[in-house]
Amino acid sequence: MADTPNPNAASEAFVRPDVRGLLDMLKAMNRPPVEDVGAVAAREGMRAMTQIGEAAPREMAVIRDVTCPGPAGDIPCRFYDTRESRDPGPAVLFIHGGGFVIGDLDVYHAICTEFAARLDLPVLSVDYRLAPEAPFPAAPDDCEAAARWLASSPEELGREITGLVITGDSAGGNLTIVTTNALRDEPADVPVLVQAPIYPVADAAGQHESYRRFKDGFFLTGATMAWFDEQYAPDPESPRNLPLLGDCSNAPSTVLCTAGLDPLRDSGRAYAACLVKHGTEVTYLEFPGIIHGFFTMRKAIPSGQADVESFIDAVGAALERRQ
């Protein structure tokens, strides 16, 4: 006879002590969810959360705000490098998360310096247009434009780019895959060497067991996810919305991580499995006992720093195998 599902399964999941401390603190604060306060207040809330919970940025030789041409005007970006100048080599395109509605260059400033320092590569962070002011497909259009611009070794950056590493978290993980697929189908001036989605949305997450287990009480909620989707207003049948609706063959080397307590966990697992089925080199890292969003909460969740380092080191190893 089949086992009966345990309704208390989520409460029995392994939760790290520092994660439990943060979840208890957030519960005690009783802050209204983003779906109740709206996009503008939610963006301010994410910035405030980052100021409290994120680690300090690394020292950089170069931090410069730039713009790149986009389909609806110039796209704000921020360029990072640990070196004033360097020989030709790869560059990282970083695409931030926030449900396609919140998040910006400042929220992801510290983690971009972490990537630049640990990989010893230049990083371009892209501030794509957000919903609901700019719904789907504004975000993938802007990210593709930024990737093609970076691949062209633009004079403004003073770097000769030989290949791309595309990475980002959550919605940015989704856009990492979507952008990589766009450059697979219509190549840019240089190839995507590695894609590195961080707890991405790759399919309809609500179909998975991790959504049922962790959609309440583990930071990212099912109600918030539904609200983000309502604001983004994507085409539900488009692979530029949910990549697993399309072709996941011929992907570059991929490093993908998920969080053990994330309602999106199984969506990331499903995408990794699809890539393996098609013969792609995949490094899959699942970090137990930790929640969605930990890449930008490293002060609030100190144990997450080691996971961030493991992920970035895996990206570096995958890149070395391509060069």
Tokens 């789907």, located at residue: 136
Are 232 and 135 contacting, i.e. CB atoms less than 8 angstroms apart? yes
Name the token pair of 17: 């002590």
Q: Mark whether 170 is an active-site residue.
A: yes
20 CB contacts (<8 Å, ≥6 apart)? none
Q: For residue 36, how far is the Cα from the chain centroid?
A: 24
Burial of 47 (0-12, 13-18, 19+ CB in 10 A): middle
158 CB contacts (<8 Å, ≥6 apart)? 85
Distance CA 139, CA 133 (A): 11
Phi and psi at residue 96, in whole multiples of 5°?
-75, 160
Q: Among residues 142, 262, 266, 307, which one is catalytic? A: 262
DSSP, collapsed to helix, strand or coil, labels residue 222 as: helix
Could you tell me which residues are beta bridge partners of residue 284?
Answer: 256
| SS3 readout for 89-123 | EEEEEEECCCCCCCCCCCCCHHHHHHHHHHHCCCE
Q: Quote the DSSP letter at residue 7.
A: T
257 CB contacts (<8 Å, ≥6 apart)? 198, 199, 268, 284, 285, 286, 287, 307, 311
Helix orientation angle between 304-322 and 109-119, rounded to the nearest 10 degrees: 50
Q: Among residues 104, 210, 292, 307, which one is catalytic? A: 292
Q: Quote the DSSP letter at residue 155.
A: G
Which of these, 103, 292, 265, 95, lies nearest to 179 by C-alpha position? 95
Q: Among residues 125, 170, 210, 267, which one is catalytic? A: 170
What are the CA-CA distances from residue 220 to residues 86, 152, 236 (Å)? 40, 37, 21
Q: Quote the DSSP letter at residue 121.
A: S
Residues labelled as active-site residues: 170, 262, 292
